[in-house]
Amino acid sequence: MRLFAFACSLVAAAFAATPASGAIVGSTSTLNWTIGGSQADSRSFLVSALLPEYYRADTFSGGYQALLVDLREDGLALTADFAGAPVATFAPGTVIRIELPESVDITAFTVTTLTQSSGLTNANLTYAGRVLEIDMSNLQFSQPGGRADLVFSFVPSPGAVSLILAAGRVLNLGRSRN
């Protein structure tokens, strides 16, 4: 009976590490903002299903420009707010790099919708392992509240897969053999 209880808890832990049960929301991720290769900002945050994870605002003579990043289980949204300029743009070489939890391995990353924004294409996106990168150099927002929606897909990282396989092995050991 103890082996069965142990096996059940191991299986529950294995499935908790898979994307279907929230591998990103509720975990810690990191965002790095670089301009021309120099780090402008770096923050770690808890990914929330309710609140945006990152907000950055810069002021200039006569106005401001702000960007909000809202990370979800399967994507993210970039939303601009600005005043004192006809459009919001980013300096050449502006890159946002997001490191997701170690339990995921990104398999795709694409632009889905641009609302009151332009210049962001799939060519501006890269991914490797658990890291997403967005080259913001060509992105332009025409109105405050402009938005760019991006989606990604992922599989459990090899560590999470190993945990699932170990749980299956433990369950198999508990069976009687006839």
Which tens digits make up the pLDDT trace of 54-90?
999 999 989 999 999 999 999 999 999 999 999 999 9
Biggest CA-to-CA distance, the chain: 81
- DSSP designation for 50: S
Segments of the chain assigned E as strands: 28-35, 38-46, 54-60, 63-71, 75-83, 88-89, 94-99, 104-115, 117-118, 125-128, 131-135, 140-141, 147-156
Token representation of residue 130: 């658990």
Whether residue 150 contacts residue 125, with contact meaning beta carbons closer than 8 Å, is answered with: yes
Is pTM beyond 0.85 here?
no
Whether residue 88 contacts residue 80, with contact meaning beta carbons closer than 8 Å, is answered with: yes
**Region 43-64 average pLDDT:** 94
Q: Which of the four pLDDT bands, split at 50, 70 and 90, describes residue 173? A: low
